[in-house]
Amino acid sequence: MARKTERRVQSRVVLVTGGAKGVGRGISERFLARGDRVFVCGRTQPAQLPHAQGQTAEFIACDVRDAGQIEKLFAELERRAGALDVLVNNAGGAPYALAAEASPRFHEKIVALNLLAPLHLAQQANARMQRQDAGGVIVFIASVSALRPSPGSAAYGAAKAGVLSLVQSLAVEWAPKVRVVAVSPGPVRTEQAHLHYGDEAGVAAVARTIPLGRLAEPRDVGEACVWLASAEAVYVSGSNLVLHGGGERPAFLDAANVNKKDRAD
């Protein structure tokens, strides 16, 4: 009887911005588990780098809001690896702040981190990928905040909406060598989930609003990124994969004074 052989996948060079914690860590670990060589960047060296299947990510210091540091990041990546196959633009975020009360400087920083920095990183990645025979893939981590009201993080939602527009435009400009895609997660349970949802009771309450009954885990986002960067998704470009467990139950269904029998009728 012939022995079944496992499908071998080719190792790639992957850069995950903000890839040492939260969603970024989940993404880094899924690429490591696949056998890829993963680089992560951040402002400070993390206490523990992502690791999986005996592989550990490599760290390069970079504040992605600084264009000069981005250039140095890619120069160091070139020196160490000599190539870049996948960029995951993950670094971003925003604290809670009502739009009427936040300062202009605050909004500028939010847009710089969540829209301009990913654009600058993508420009640098594309320049290198265009020179490679196999091209490359750029994955932007967007958010459902770009697709529905985002009270308390209006500038963040607007910046992420800008990211989705970027993805469509860059996919046209940089084809066919480079594919550009987005993933838009809903609520994700990370080590900082309590800052957004409170204690375990708060997390459970949020989970009840999601059709699949739970928040996403960082590895869920990682699995989506791995698939989008794979040969199985070779015809996917300019697209946004919404990863929200089925979405949010419309508030009017609970607010309406209509019983279930009347609705069915």
Tokens matching residue 6:
């496992």
Give, to the nearest 10 degrees, the angle between helix 22-34 and helix 218-228. 50
Residue 25 in contact with residue 218, Cβ under 8 Å?
yes
Residue type, 243: L
pLDDT tens per residue across span 138-187: 999 999 999 999 999 999 999 999 999 999 999 999 999 999 999 999 99
* pLDDT of the residue at 5: 36
Q: 13-247, which class in CATH?
A: alpha beta
4, pLDDT greater than 90: no
* Residues 214-237 pLDDT 10s: 999 999 999 999 999 999 999 999
CA dist 190 and 41 (Å) reads 18
Domain positions in the chain are 13-247
96 catalytically annotated: no
